[in-house]
Amino acid sequence: MGGTWGRALVQLPYMLQVLLLGVVTTVKVTLGALAVALVVGLIFALLRTAPVRLLRGLATTYIETFRAIPVLTQLFVIYFGLANLGIRLDPFSAAVIGLGANGGAYLAEVFRGGIEAIHRGQLEAAFSIGMTRLKAMRFVVLPQAIRVVLPPIANYSISLLKDTAVVSAVAAPEIMFRARNLVNETFLSTQIYLLAGFLYLSMSLPLSRGVRYLEKRMGAGVHP
């Protein structure tokens, strides 16, 4: 036991160097997937609240389908399934698209909740001065809905950061992928996975504190 921990201490600089490369990829995947999820979520939230039944039906189908299927399955379909159809994506792109498409289904409901939290009278007032539905959403409803949706979006970003661990299954070189390679190379599984966990913790804790601060700021003045 002491021998493995001593060997781990000697190789700590090397292991950190390798895992920090994974941290860079993890952050890139998180930011890329978050951007995709925000765009997809907003689009399907607008469709979900549209007056046309067909559009609402399409949005509901997307949301329910992507929320019901595990994200790992979706990654396999995107990375391996599309390759069988001649569409080959590199691991990074597959990870961003897969996590983003999955996250979009969840954020669509977040955006929908934010939109529906705004009193309908404001939308009707916008219509009364000649605004189209799209303009009313853009200039009246969405700016106010941001106050409602920011905290849950921030919470989702923390979950997304941790969920990036699953993209190692499609060979995206994030933290867990590099940790697994290190374990195969050094056989120091306990030490390496503890180190990987520490790196996730060091990224998640500041984000969690930021979310709590954001929730307090967003909640200030809402309740008497």
Superfamily of domain 2-219: MetI-like (1.10.3720.10)
pLDDT of residue 78: 94
pTM of the model: 0.89
What is the percent of the chain where pLDDT is above 70? Answer: 96
- Which of 34, 30, 52 lies closest to 42 in space, CA to CA? 34
Q: Is the dihedral of CA 198, 179, 207, 162 positive or negative?
A: negative
Q: Is the pLDDT of residue 10 over 60?
A: yes
What is the residue type of 88?
A: R
Q: Where are the domains of the chain?
A: 2-219
- Which of 41, 28, 69, 38 lies closest to 161 in space, CA to CA? 28
- Which of 167, 175, 171 lies closest to 102 in space, CA to CA? 167
Q: What is the pLDDT of residues 167-198, one digit of tens each?
A: 988 888 899 999 999 999 989 999 999 999 99
- Per 3-state DSSP, the chain is made up of helix, strand and coil in percentages (nearest 5) of 85, 0, 15
Q: What is the mean pLDDT of the chain?
A: 89
Q: What is the pLDDT of residues 100-137, one digit of tens each?
A: 999 999 999 999 999 998 888 888 888 888 888 888 88
- Better pLDDT: 9 or 215: 9
What length is written for the chain? 224
